[in-house]
């Protein structure tokens, strides 16, 4: 009987500790955001679960496949005011996944994007010059590869995945976070 109680205690503590650590911001993400947006006082990690209706609207607005209803996002604050939102999007590129942070200001403009994890070989990873094309993009820009964003010879799937991710992140911002 005592052994069963100990098992339940260990499980309870594990769940409680994992929940409290969920509220903390990943150090790398915090560093990326603070280096790109001056005077940030807080970066707060949050989780979002899309409803069935939100999922459908976001997929239609993004004109890209939305592969999950669960997302991590970040409220970026100066003092007590939220000045921007960061949305993490993970997508399969070729055979492996990449995770990109997309940061939007309150007007819905894409301020910057940063590759946080890239599982494909390095030659398929878009370079800094190409990633800079996703910086300071007005909310009216469609973020379409080949139209607004040039393709990358030899890394077309990576470029497509990152631009589709930007459209999904922007749709999440417009449909859920902005409201």
The whole-model pTM stands at 0.80
* 4 belongs to a structural domain: no
If DSSP codes are grouped into helix, strand and coil, which group holds residue 138?
A: coil
* 139 belongs to a structural domain: yes
* 20 belongs to a structural domain: no
Backbone dihedral angles phi then psi of residue 64, each to the nearest 5 degrees:
-155, 155
* 144 belongs to a structural domain: yes
Total domains in the chain come to 1
Report pLDDT for 148: 64
Beta strands in 33-151 (DSSP E): 42-49, 70-78, 81-92, 97-105, 110-118
Yes or no: say if 76 and 83 are a contact pair by the CB < 8 Å rule.
yes
Backbone dihedral angles phi then psi of residue 68, each to the nearest 5 degrees:
-155, 160
Q: Which domain holds residue 136?
A: 25-177
Q: pLDDT confidence of 125, banded at 50, 70, 90? A: confident
* 15 belongs to a structural domain: no
* 17 belongs to a structural domain: no
* 149 belongs to a structural domain: yes
């Amino acid at each position: 009987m005592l052994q069963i109680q100990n098992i339940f205690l260990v499980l309870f503590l594990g769940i409680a500790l994992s929940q409290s650590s969920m509220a903390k911001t990943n150090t790398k993400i915090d560093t990326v955001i603070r280096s790109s947006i001056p005077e940030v006082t807080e970066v707060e990690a949050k989780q979002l679960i899309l409803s069935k209706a939100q999922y459908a609207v976001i997929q239609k607005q993004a004109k890209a496949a939305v592969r999950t209803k669960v997302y991590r996002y970040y409220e970026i604050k100066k003092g007590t005011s939220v000045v921007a939102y960061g949305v993490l999007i993970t997508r399969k590129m070729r055979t492996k996944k990449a995770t990109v942070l997309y940061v939007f200001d309150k007007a819905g403009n894409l301020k910057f994007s940063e590759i946080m994890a890239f599982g494909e070989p390095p030659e398929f990873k878009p370079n800094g010059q190409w990633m800079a094309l996703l910086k300071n993009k007005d909310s009216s820009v469609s973020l379409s590869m080949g139209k607004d964003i040039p393709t990358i010879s030899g890394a077309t799937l990576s470029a497509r995945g990152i631009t589709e991710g930007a459209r999904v992140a922007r749709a999440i911002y417009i449909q859920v976070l902005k409201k």
